[in-house]
Structures are given as structure tokens and as C-alpha cells.
């Protein structure tokens, strides 16, 4: 290992150094400042004689006399089952005061792509206990389903609720109760200390920490480190899932901060920027994170991802949510309006979507009527929403009886189906029964998305009586 | 790739000068533009994209972590080519035609390792060759010398390669051969094998293009009925995320009546490709009943696979499509998504520090897109036969904004435009093809086919549907202001008819066993049933029946069940009879 004192330029998070032997692209670098502090970085570009290095902890304290060591390998994550229950910083060092981590193996953090031929198509229903997700945007094992949120919205509460409640129902009935639990790997990127405490308190309160690994890069930690944190998280997740047979739920928050870091580095490297200054390769970069979810044929474990991002200005056409939406398998959309009405969780189901839903629901998986009920509620809620605009102009009296029923449906859908609170855990049966209670408000012939036999079976002829029952079931 | 098998000595090796992501520069490499090279100690596959003095720039098709200056670069002296021959159907390739199942075996892991290569077709497997020429026959380039049963559905035709001279046949074999054994010899010394190679960036030669007059029947009502695509035509499907591009593409791949389907997953989701890999072998081909994979070639370069291979996968796909076209087949190529391809070009262009055009895309974006789409068409082949390639490209405009460069440059080329709409998708109206914005320029040239094969009044009935939908669009604006009840009764009725057109006819459930495929006869019949309702309803209205009563006839909501009805002919007859009876009973 050769040591150089040849730094020629320091600019933002980048350091340029002259070398007299070849250095590999992506290799890890250690920089020792004259004060004796050791910083880590990664080779961004390697040419004959000169390399550019991106320093994770920021370049503060580095001067031209600092020494640069090339470690001759790409960045690795030490992995072991003992990571469960531990809290690490954004670079993977323990910060919980616990014992040192003795790794079983060290894995390259730039994961290789899963061969699409070796994947197994995800179709195992995960019951999150949240009606807006289970009923309308079902999550399955191995899916990547982000939460699109905005500043000030309770996305953390929803993520925590999912982490607490997520189970795969069939296994719950069996004796192997632990088998259906998820190992939760939590990657924080640039969140505030307060938010971090909120997560940690909840993990500790519910005892979830035992089956969790926490990576913390806080808002005042170096931005460049955010580049590494999600890769450490996902490397750990892949290890636990595909080598140790865990079902892993990965929560990444906040992807917006990750993308900001990406932009910062791109700007420091004087790259040609793409939309809104984000680098042109952001799609590829994000895909390399999000695509590390899934199932592999012949392995028992799975990686399910719930990345959280806050949309700047609640704008879902902003490059961060936009590119994310093109890669992930749907999105859960939080809504400011619903939030101010006190709906918990304030999920707007209309722009939400789960692409893997259709194969994860139905007879044998959830319930035979699930698909039809969900489609019908989408259509009816959308119609009700449209009518609300109209009511503002012409008033309710000007609408037909049929239209009024749709309006009522939309109201009750929000107040009874979506609204449930962060501590209510609804089974899929309960969710669908509430669905039928609501759909039975509408005339039978308006239920054009539902199979006629299913209408016969589930439609509440005596709506008033059912309503009372629904309330007691809540 | 066949380059691995090339044993002839190659030009002098070069040395890596710098590495930045997928872009590597090398010195002292004696290479031509677009030559394939092997980079570094691990032998990663790459392609020469720029030569400047002694400095050669290479885009590498694999991850370059750990590769450093000083490592060797080996030139194969050949441009990026695909292996063509029997065995391509029922296969799944990455962007440079490496079979993914073989890679899994060779790498021994579910993850894609580096530096592993495999030929695009199995070079050892023996195929039953049945000659169609005899000694003494004279053959020319493109002529068929014999056939091989490639899959249960497709007979693979062995052709004289287009770059041969042709001549008199001096010997012909028959029986089982591997693809590299010579099966036909010509008097000028040329030897013909089942295996050919062709550089992907060069179109295979063909004769003149003809005007396509036959529709590519897709089994999707909104596409067949309102915005048809011709065999040999081009179409674009732009739409924001979540609007159903991929499902629409997959429906076309499953149900369209092409002989061969080449499906390119370009920079899309891994799980989606897995779904195709798992589903297609189990689904029957609607034309033959054989497994769908028997006519399908899949190319999967998911979003996290190397970006340079994403750039090349489109070319790999279209070259394979051209090869089957040369056999006289009608080929349909689906590219999902061309935006990812354009982004791959942008990414590489920016690493080369080229002067960017609009939104950072390279200035040659429009040229590359049109070059690609121009490889589609209905062709007179060099052997005198006819063959076609239809191209359907999905476009993923950022933020769903159709004014961005990829959508705009695509629209300047393609003749069918299926615009997907997020609003429709949100209310689960699928396929979410917006009937107000979409168009097809093939309509008129395809009408004669419909009139000859389906119904003589086809174009009139379709025009009626278009008019009603147009009128609805205008009326909706008024309804937004004053409410539906403020409209005159006839307009209210029009809205009701339009609602059935949308919900019963345009909407189609891809997940329903029956509704997922709708034959053209049924598409026509369903439309005429709604028209019957329309005609009868307006007669009732004229006779003084209030519009509420017309809307509430029992039979009308049953129109919504037409799509899912198995015995549709009887079902629709019955509805029509009931409608007539019930409406006439009102006056």
C-alpha cells in the first residue's frame, strides 16, 4: 500500500492527487490530515498520473500536506447476523456503544445486478394492517414501494406503522411465529436528530430494535456520506435475505437528501447537469439502489424496500419523484389536504399505485373479491372526487340522486376506509368488509367492475344494519 | 457474443489510460470505430466510440469498479455483432445478446458477474436441416436454402447471407447439424452455415418499402378499433409513470397477430422482466395455441444493468427482428422504453464531454431515433418475398410532459400515437389510452381490410363512435360549469351513450381471461350493440319518453358485461333484443 503526499487540488468534496502507479476506479482511499484525523473517500476517476477522490466525510481539515493511501480494494461492508440490534453511523461504524462487530464476510457495497432470469416474481401478500395500502395498493414481498410525501406530512409515522405491523398472514397461523416477522433495516440519510429520535424511540418501545439494523446519517453529517449509506444498508439487506434467509424490510429515508448529495458531487465535478441541475445519470444511480429488492429463485429470504422521499413543493413531476416512480413498482402518495382534515394516514389512493398488486391478491392469496372491490372503489372514489368540484359551483341540490350517492361514498371512503389511526392494525378481511359496507351505499347496477356473483355474495341489502356492524368492528 | 470464439490473432493490445464509470480511454490501441474490445485484466466487453490521435475512447458494457490505468485492452477487430441462427426464439438475452440462462449457469450465482461471455446461440446443439435447393440450382443472397424446425410454431429458414455473392450449388447436406457446420457449398467456394453474424448498428439489406395495408391485430379494442397499427408500421406509447405503458406493451406482445415478437426491456424493472419470463412460456399464442415463447425473443437489460449495454440493446433487438423479416415473417418489436435508451445515450455523451443539445441529450438524438424507427416497415425482400417489422416504442416522458425531446422527436417519425393518460389510469380506466389525444395515420389505408374481412360499414360505425366521444368532450366542459341536469335531454342522452362507449367498449380488462383478448369481430359487434342502444334510445326520446326512463332500462347496464362474456354473439344478440323490447315498451 503506497502513501502519497501529492494532493494538487481540493474542491468541495473532491480531492485530486498525483500518483505514480495505477489506481482502480471506485477504490477506497484513506486521507490522513496533518491533525491526525483519518478521512475516507472513493476514486471517482482514475487516469494515468492523477486521480480524483470523493471524500465521504467532507474535505474540511485537508491540506496539500495530507497523506493519501489507496487501499487497493473497492468499498466493502462487513456483514454478520450480529448486526441485528445494532445502530451504526452512515459509514457503517457502530455508534451504540456496543461491542465491536466481528464480520462473517465482507461484501462489495456496489451490488451486482440480479440476473432477471434468476429472479422469482414477487407475489406473496404482505399485510401491513393499513387499509389504504392492503386494500387498494397491496404490497408484496420483494417489492419496492416508495412513499411520496411532502415536508410536514406524517410519512415517518406511516413507515413506522408498516414496520411494526407488516406480516405475511399465512405464516402467522402456523406455529413458526417468528418466521413471518421482518428484519427491518433502517437507513437514515440527512434526517434531523429529532426525527431520528422518533424512530429510535419507537424501535425501542416496541422491541423492534432486536430485529433491526439502523444506519444513521443525520442532517449535520457529511452530505457525501449519504452516497454510501444506502449501499451499506442494501448490502446488509442482501446478505441477511439471500444468505441468511431473512425477510428483510428496508426503509430508506429521505431519498431527497440522497439526490441532493448526488447533485452536490456532480456540481463539484463540473459535470454537464441534467434537469434542475441533477446529474444525467441519476436514473441509473437510483436504479442501482431500488433494483436491489426482490426475490431470488431457490432462496428463502427476500428484500422489500420502502424508500421515503419528500417531494419539493409537493410536485410529483420534480426529477426525484419522477425518476423514482419510473423505477419503483408503484408509489404511496401522501396528501396535504387529507392531512389537514385529520385523516390518518393521509394517503390519497388515486395517484397511489402498486404494480405488483394484481398478482399478489385474489383467491388463495387474499380474497376472491379483492381485485374487483379495489377497482370499484377506485372508480367510485374518482367519480365522487370529480363531483366535488361540481358541487362547489352548482350545489348539491342540482345533482342527481345517483351523483349524491357517489359524493357520500367519497366522504365515507376517506373517513372510514382510509382513516384508521397509526395504532390500528386491520386484517385484510376487516379492510374488505369495510369496503363492502361502503360500496353497498351505491346502487347495484353502478357496481360495474365487480363480478355479478360476488355482488350477490357480499352486497349488503340492508345497508343501515351493516353500517352499525361496521362501526362496532372498527 | 461470437467474439469470444474468435481465435485469429488480433491487432496489438492497448493500455488503459483513464477510467470514469463506463467510459474508459486507452492508448496505443489499433482499432476502428465501433470495434468490440476486451478491457482490463478481467476482459470486460466494450466498444470503441471515439478515436482521437493515439487515444481511443471505449464504452464498457460491464461494471468498471476496480479497473485501473495500465491494464491491457484487447481488440477483436470486429464491430458489435449478433449471432443469428436457430435458437434465438424462446431465449432471453441481455443488451449484448448474452443468454441470461447460460450466464446464470456459467457464473454459478443469481447475480451478474463480470467478464463472462457466452455466444448468442448454442453452437453445439444439432438441428434437423431440410434442404430446399438441389445441386446445380443457382442461389442468390437472401435466398432460402433450407428449413429447420426452430420451435413448434416457427420454421427457421436458412438463407444465403446477404453479403455473399451467390452462385451454383455444388453440394447440399441433409440431416442433423450444428449451426457452424457447412450445409451448402457454392461453386465460388462460399460455404453456408445456419449461423450468420451481423453488425447491430447496420441495417440488414432489403428491397423497397411498401405501403402497409394489413393491420397488426392486437386484440385490444381501443387500438384495433380507433387507432390501428399496420403490419410494418410504427407506434409510440408515451405516458407518465403508472399509466400502464408496460402492461400495454405486454398485451401487444401477448396478443398481436405477428409471426415473431421481439420484446426489449430496455432499462426497465427487473421484476417486470421476470414476470414476462415466467408468464410467456405458460400463455398460449392466440394464433396457434402453442406456448407464446415459441415465437418470442426477449431482451432484458434492466435499469441497474450497465448503461452501455442499455444503449446497444435496441440495436441488438432490431437486428434480430430484421433477420426474421428476411425469412418472410411479420415481426413485431416492442421497445420498453426508448426513453431509457435515449438517457443511456445522454449519459455516455456527457461522459465524453460532448456539447449537449436540448435537455442535455446529445445533438444526434433525433437522428438516432429516426434511424431506429426507419428500420421498421413492410419490405420487398432481396429474395423477392415480403416481410415486415412493426415497431412499438414506449416513451417515458419526465413528469408526463409530452413536450420533452424524446417524445417530440419520436412523434415526428411514428404514425400511430397512443397517448396514455394519468387521469384515466387513476380511475382505473385501462388501457388508459386517451382517445382525444391519440391518433393513427394508418386508419384510411387499413379500412379496406376491415371492410373486406369484418364488416362493410366498419368505417361509418367507427366514425360514429369518434363523433360521440368528441361531442362528449365538448359537453363535459359545460357540465363542469352547470351540472348535467341543466343540459337538454338529447345531450344528456349523448353523455349516457358516451359513457357506455368508454366503460363498455374502450375499457378492457387485461387481467380477465376472456376480456384480455378481443377479436376484431367482437370489437365491431360490441360497438354496434352500443349503437343499437343509441338509435333505439333516440327514437324513444323523439317519441316523448323522458331521458331518465331511457337510462334506467334494465338491459342497458348489461352492455358493460359484453367484454367479459364468453359466448359473446348470443349475449350481445340477447341484449339488443331486450333493449329494443324494453325501449319500445316505453312509448
Residue A473: predicted pLDDT: 43
Kindly indicate the confidence band of residue B305, based on its pLDDT and cuts at 50, 70 and 90: confident
pLDDT at B322: 96
Please check whether residue B175 touches A, CB under 8 A.
no
Does the reported pTM lie above 0.95? no
Instruction: Report chain A residues whose CB lies below 8 A from the CB of B271.
Output: 119, 121-122, 142-143, 294, 329, 356
Shortest CA gap A389–chain B (Å): 8
Mark which residues 553-582 of B lie under 8 Å from A by CB.
557, 560-561
* CA atoms lying within 13 Å on the CB side of residue A74: 18
In this predicted structure, the answer to whether residue B192 has a pLDDT above a threshold of 50 is: yes
Q: Which value, to the nearest 10 degrees, does the dihedral of the CA atoms of residues B201, B441, B383, B149 take?
A: 80
Q: Residues 259 to 288 of B: which have CB under 8 A from any A CB?
A: 265, 267, 269-275, 277-278
Most A CBs within 10 Å, among B23, B25, B269, B487, to test the A interface: B269
Alpha helices in B27-167 (DSSP H): 100-107
DSSP string, B304-350: TS-HHHHHHHHHHHHHHHHHHHHTT-EEEEEEETHHHHHHHHHHHHH
pLDDT at A466 exceeding the cut of 50: no
Q: Do A121 and B278 make contact, defined as CB atoms within 8 angstroms?
A: yes
Q: What is the 3-state secondary structure (H, E, C) of A298-326?
A: CCCCEEEEEEEEECHHHCCCCHHHHHHHH
Looking at residue A179, its pLDDT comes to 46
The answer to whether the Cβ–Cβ distance between B70 and A48 falls below 8 Å is yes
With beta carbons under 8 A apart, name residues in chain B contacting A331. Answer: 242
What is residue A275's predicted lDDT score, i.e. its pLDDT? 80
Q: What nine digits make up the cell of A42?
A: 472513493
| Over residues A21-44, mean pLDDT | 88
What mean pLDDT do residues A158-167 have?
91
Distance CA B98, CA B116 (A): 9
| Percent above pLDDT 70 for chain B | 98
Cβ–Cβ of A22/B68 closer than 8 Å?
Answer: yes
Q: What is the pLDDT of residue B12?
A: 64
Of A44, A292, A351, the CB nearest to B426: A351
Query: What's the confidence (pLDDT) of residue B283?
Result: 86
What is chain B's mean pLDDT, rounded? 91
pLDDT at A75 (0 to 100): 87
pLDDT, residue B33, reads 87
The band of A13, judged by pLDDT with boundaries at 50, 70 and 90, is confident
* Inter-chain residue contact B483 with A318, CB threshold 8 Å: no
Q: Output the CA–CA distances (angstroms, integers) from residue B383 to A118, B207, B329, in the order listed.
A: 41, 9, 13
pLDDT at residue A472, as a whole number = 44
Q: Is it the case that residue A148 has pLDDT exceeding 90?
A: yes
The Cα B96–Cα B45 span in angstroms is 9
CA gap A289, A250 in Å, rounded = 11
- Judge whether residue B377 has pLDDT over 80: yes
Residues of B in contact with A26 (CB under 8 A): 64-66
Give residue A178's pLDDT: 44
Give the pLDDT score at A467.
46
Residues of A in contact with B422 (CB under 8 A): 351
Chain B residue nearest residue A119, CA to CA: B274
- Beta carbons of B65 and A26 less than 8 Å apart: yes
pLDDT, tens digit, 9 for 90 and up, residues A223-281: 888 989 999 999 999 999 999 999 999 999 999 999 999 998 888 877 778 788 898 88
**Which pLDDT band, with edges at 50, 70 and 90, does A1 fall under?**
low
Q: Which residues in chain B have Cβ-Cβ distances shorter than 8 Å to A284?
A: 303-304, 307, 343, 347
The answer to whether residue B5 scores a pLDDT higher than 70 is no
pLDDT computed for residue B8 by the predictor: 43
Smallest CA-to-CA distance from B495 within B435, B554, B547 is with B547
CA-to-CA separations, A440 to A449, B272, B536, in angstroms, rounded: 14, 36, 31
Contacts of B69 in chain A (CB under 8 A): 22-23, 46-48
| Euclidean distance between CA atoms B196 and B193, whole angstroms | 7
B486 touches chain A (CB under 8 A): yes
Q: Is the pLDDT of residue A315 over 60?
A: yes
Q: What is the pLDDT of residue A176?
A: 45
Contact assignment for B557 to A445 by CB distance below 8 Å: yes
Region of B537 on the Ramachandran plot (φ > 0 left; ψ -120 to 50 alpha; else beta): alpha
Q: Is B355 on the interface with A (CB under 8 A)?
A: no
Mean pLDDT of B386-412: 92
Range 72-131 of A in CB contact (< 8 A) with B: 73-74, 108, 110-122
> Mean pLDDT, to the nearest integer, of B83-110?
91
Per-residue confidence (pLDDT) for residue B174, from 0 to 100: 93
* Interchain pair B398, A353: CB under 8 A: no
Give the residue among B55, B46, B53, B54 at the shortest CA–CA distance from B79: B46
Q: Mutate which of B90, B110, B582 to test chain A, going by most A C-beta atoms within 10 A? A: B110
pLDDT at A61: 84
Average pLDDT for residues B511-527, to the nearest whole number? 93
The string of pLDDT tens digits covering residues B236-265 is 999 888 888 888 999 999 999 999 999 999
pLDDT for position A397: 84
| Pairing status of strand A14-18 against strand A50-55 | antiparallel
What is the mean predicted confidence (pLDDT) over A417-443? 94
Give yes or no for A323 touching B (CB within 8 A): yes
Is pLDDT of A331 > 70?
A: yes
| Cell representation of residue B82 | 449478433
Q: Check CB contact under 8 Å for B307 and A379.
A: no
The whole-number pLDDT of residue B98 equals 92
Q: CB A46 to CB B68 under 8 A?
A: yes
**For residue B50, pLDDT beyond 70:** yes
Q: Does B447 have pLDDT greater than 90?
A: yes
CB distance A24–B67 less than 8 Å?
Answer: yes
> Can you give the pLDDT at residue B222?
96
Which of B65, B350, B422 has its CB closest to that of A110? B65
- Tell me the average pLDDT across B498-513: 93
* C-alpha cell read off for A81: 447476523
pLDDT confidence of A222, banded at 50, 70, 90?
confident
- The secondary structure of B397-439 as a DSSP string is -GGG-TTSHHHHHHHTT-SEE--B-HHHHHTT-SS-B-TTT-E
- Least confident piece of the model among B142-151, B212-221, B383-392, B477-486: B477-486
Query: Has residue A465 got a pLDDT over 50?
Result: no
- Residue A177: pLDDT band by 50, 70, 90 thresholds? very low
Q: Which of A387-391, B32-36, B354-358, B471-475 has the highest mean pLDDT?
A: B471-475
Amino acid at each position: 500500500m503506497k502513501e502519497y503526499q501529492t494532493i494538487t487540488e481540493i474542491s468541495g468534496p473532491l480531492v485530486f492527487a498525483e500518483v505514480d502507479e495505477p489506481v482502480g476506479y471506485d477504490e477506497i482511499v484513506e486521507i490522513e490530515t496533518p491533525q491526525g484525523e483519518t478521512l475516507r473517500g472513493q476514486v471517482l476517476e482514475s487516469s494515468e498520473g492523477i486521480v480524483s477522490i470523493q471524500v465521504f466525510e467532507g474535505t474540511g481539515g485537508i491540506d496539500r500536506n495530507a497523506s493519501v493511501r489507496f487501499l487497493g480494494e473497492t468499498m466493502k461492508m462487513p456483514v454478520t447476523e450480529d448486526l441485528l440490534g445494532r445502530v451504526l453511523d452512515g459509514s457503517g461504524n457502530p455508534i451504540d456503544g456496543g461491542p465491536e462487530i466481528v464480520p462473517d464476510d465482507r461484501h462489495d457495497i456496489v451490488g451486482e445486478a440480479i440476473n432477471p432470469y434468476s429472479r422469482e416474481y414477487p407475489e406473496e401478500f404482505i399485510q401491513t394492517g393499513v387499509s389504504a395500502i392492503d386494500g387498494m395498493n397491496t404490497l408484496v414481498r420483494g417489492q419496492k414501494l416508495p412513499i411520496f410525501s411532502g415536508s410536514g406530512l406524517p410519512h415517518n409515522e406511516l413507515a413506522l406503522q408498516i414496520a411494526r405491523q407488516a406480516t405475511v398472514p399465512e405464516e402467522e397461523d402456523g406455529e413458526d411465529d417468528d418466521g413471518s416477522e421482518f428484519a427491518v433495516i433502517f437507513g437514515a440519510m440527512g434526517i434531523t436528530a429529532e426525527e431520528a429520535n422518533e424512530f429510535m424511540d419507537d424501535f425501542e418501545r416496541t422491541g423492534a430494535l432486536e430485529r433491526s439494523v439502523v444506519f444513521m446519517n443525520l442532517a449535520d453529517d457529511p452530505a457525501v456520506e449519504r452516497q454510501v449509506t444506502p449501499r451499506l444498508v442494501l448490502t446488509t439487506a442482501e446478505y441477511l435475505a439471500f444468505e441468511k434467509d431473512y425477510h428483510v424490510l428496508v426503509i430508506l429515508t429521505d431519498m431527497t437528501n440522497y439526490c441532493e448529495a448526488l447533485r452536490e458531487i456532480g456540481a463539484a465535478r463540473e459535470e454537464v447537469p441534467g434537469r434542475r441541475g441533477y446529474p444525467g445519470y441519476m436514473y441509473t444511480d437510483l436504479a442501482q439502489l431500488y433494483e436491489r429488492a426482490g426475490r431470488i429463485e431457490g432462496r428463502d429470504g427476500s428484500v422489500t424496500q420502502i424508500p421515503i422521499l419528500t417531494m419539493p413543493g409537493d410536485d410529483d413531476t420534480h426529477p426525484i419523484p419522477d425518476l423514482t416512480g419510473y423505477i419503483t413498482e408503484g408509489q404511496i402518495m401522501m396528501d396535504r389536504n387529507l392531512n389537514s382534515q385529520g385523516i390518518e394516514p393521509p394517503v390519497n389512493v388515486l395517484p397511489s399505485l402498486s404494480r405488483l398488486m394484481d398478482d399478489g391478491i385474489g383467491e388463495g392469496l387474499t380474497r376472491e373479491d379483492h381485485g374487483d372491490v379495489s377497482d370499484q372503489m377506485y372508480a367510485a372514489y374518482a367519480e365522487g372526487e370529480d363531483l366535488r368540484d361540481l358541487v362547489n359551483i352548482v350545489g348539491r341540490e342540482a345533482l342527481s340522486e345517483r351523483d349524491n350517492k357517489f359524493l357520500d361514498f367519497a366522504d365515507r371512503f376517506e373517513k372510514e376506509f382510509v382513516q384508521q389511526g397509526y395504532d390500528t392494525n386491520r386484517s385484510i378481511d376487516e379492510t374488505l368488509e369495510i369496503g363492502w359496507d361502503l360500496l353497498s351505499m351505491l346502487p347495484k347496477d353502478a357496481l360495474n367492475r365487480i363480478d355479478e356473483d360476488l355482488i350477490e355474495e357480499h352486497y349488503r341489502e340492508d345497508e343501515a344494519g351493516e353500517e352499525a356492524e361496521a362501526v362496532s368492528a372498527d | 457474443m461470437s467474439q469470444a470464439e474468435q481465435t485469429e490473432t488480433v491487432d496489438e493490445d492497448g493500455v488503459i489510460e483513464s477510467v470514469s464509470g463506463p467510459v474508459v480511454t486507452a492508448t496505443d490501441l489499433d482499432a476502428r470505430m465501433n470495434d468490440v474490445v476486451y478491457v482490463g485484466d478481467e476482459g470486460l466487453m466494450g466498444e470503441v466510440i471515439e478515436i482521437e490521435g493515439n487515444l481511443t475512447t471505449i464504452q464498457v458494457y460491464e461494471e468498471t469498479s476496480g479497473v485501473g490505468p495500465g491494464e491491457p485492452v484487447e481488440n477483436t477487430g470486429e464491430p458489435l455483432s449478433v449471432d443469428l441462427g436457430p435458437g434465438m426464439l424462446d431465449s432471453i438475452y441481455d443488451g449484448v445478446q448474452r443468454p441470461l440462462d447460460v450466464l446464470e449457469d456459467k457464473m454459478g450465482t443469481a447475480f451478474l458477474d463480470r467478464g463472462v461471455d457466452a455466444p448468442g446461440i448454442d453452437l453445439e446443439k444439432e438441428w434437423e436441416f431440410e434442404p430446399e435447393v438441389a445441386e446445380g440450382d443457382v442461389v442468390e443472397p437472401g435466398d432460402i436454402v433450407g428449413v429447420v424446425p426452430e420451435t413448434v410454431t416457427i420454421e427457421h429458414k436458412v438463407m444465403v447471407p446477404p453479403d455473399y455473392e451467390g452462385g451454383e450449388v455444388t453440394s447440399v447436406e441433409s440431416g442433423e447439424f450444428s449451426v457452424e457446420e457447412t450445409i451448402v457449398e457454392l461453386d465460388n467456394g462460399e460455404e453456408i452455415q445456419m449461423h450468420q453474424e451481423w453488425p447491430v448498428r447496420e441495417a440488414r439489406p432489403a428491397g423497397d418499402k411498401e405501403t402497409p395495408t394489413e393491420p397488426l391485430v392486437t386484440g385490444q379494442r381501443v387500438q384495433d378499433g380507433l387507432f390501428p397499427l399496420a403490419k410494418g408500421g410504427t407506434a409510440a406509447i408515451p405516458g407518465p409513470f403508472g399509466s400502464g405503458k408496460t402492461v400495454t406493451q405486454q398485451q401487444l406482445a401477448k396478443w398481436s397477430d405477428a409471426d415473431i415478437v421481439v420484446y426489449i426491456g430496455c432499462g426497465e424493472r427487473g421484476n417486470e422482466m421476470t414476470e414476462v419470463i415466467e408468464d410467456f412460456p405458460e400463455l398460449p399464442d392466440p394464433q396457434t395455441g402453442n406456448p407464446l415463447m415459441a415465437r418470442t425473443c426477449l431482451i432484458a437489460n434492466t435499469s441497474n444493468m450497465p448503461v452501455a449495454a442499455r444503449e446497444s440493446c435496441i440495436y441488438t433487438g432490431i437486428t434480430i427482428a430484421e433477420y426474421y423479416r428476411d425469412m418472410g415473417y411479420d415481426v413485431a418489436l416492442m421497445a420498453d422504453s426508448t426513453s431509457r435508451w435515449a438517457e443511456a445515450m445522454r449519459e455516455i455523451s456527457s461522459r465524453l464531454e460532448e456539447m449537449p443539445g436540448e435537455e442535455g441529450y446529445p445533438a444526434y438524438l433525433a437522428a438516432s431515433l429516426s434511424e431506429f424507427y426507419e428500420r421498421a416497415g413492410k419490405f420487398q425482400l432481396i429474395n423477392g418475398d415480403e416481410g415486415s417489422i412493426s415497431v412499438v416504442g414506449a416513451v417515458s416522458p419526465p413528469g408526463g410532459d409530452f413536450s420533452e425531446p424524446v417524445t417530440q422527436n419520436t412523434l415526428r417519425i411514428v404514425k400511430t400515437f397512443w397517448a396514455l393518460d394519468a387521469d384515466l389510469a387513476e380511475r382505473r380506466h385501462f388501457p388508459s389510452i386517451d382517445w382525444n389525444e391519440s391518433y393513427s395515420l394508418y386508419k384510411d389505408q387499413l379500412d379496406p381490410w376491415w371492410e373486406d374481412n369484418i364488416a362493410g360499414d366498419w368505417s361509418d360505425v367507427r366514425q360514429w363512435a369518434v363523433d360521440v366521444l368528441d361531442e362528449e368532450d365538448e359537453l363535459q366542459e359545460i357540465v363542469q360549469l352547470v351540472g348535467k341536469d341543466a343540459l337538454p335531454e338529447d345531450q344528456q342522452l349523448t353523455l349516457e351513450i358516451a359513457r357506455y362507449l368508454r366503460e363498455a367498449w374502450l375499457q378492457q380488462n387485461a387481467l380477465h381471461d376472456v376480456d384480455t383478448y378481443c377479436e376484431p369481430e367482437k370489437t365491431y359487434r360490441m360497438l354496434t350493440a352500443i349503437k343499437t342502444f343509441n338509435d333505439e334510445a333516440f327514437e324513444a326520446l323523439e317519441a316523448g319518453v323522458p331521458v331518465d326512463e331511457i337510462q334506467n332500462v334494465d338491459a342497458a347496464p348489461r352492455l358493460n358485461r359484453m367484454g367479459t362474456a364468453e359466448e359473446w354473439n348470443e349475449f350481445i344478440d340477447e341484449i339488443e333484443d331486450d333493449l329494443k323490447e324494453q325501449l319500445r315498451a316505453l312509448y
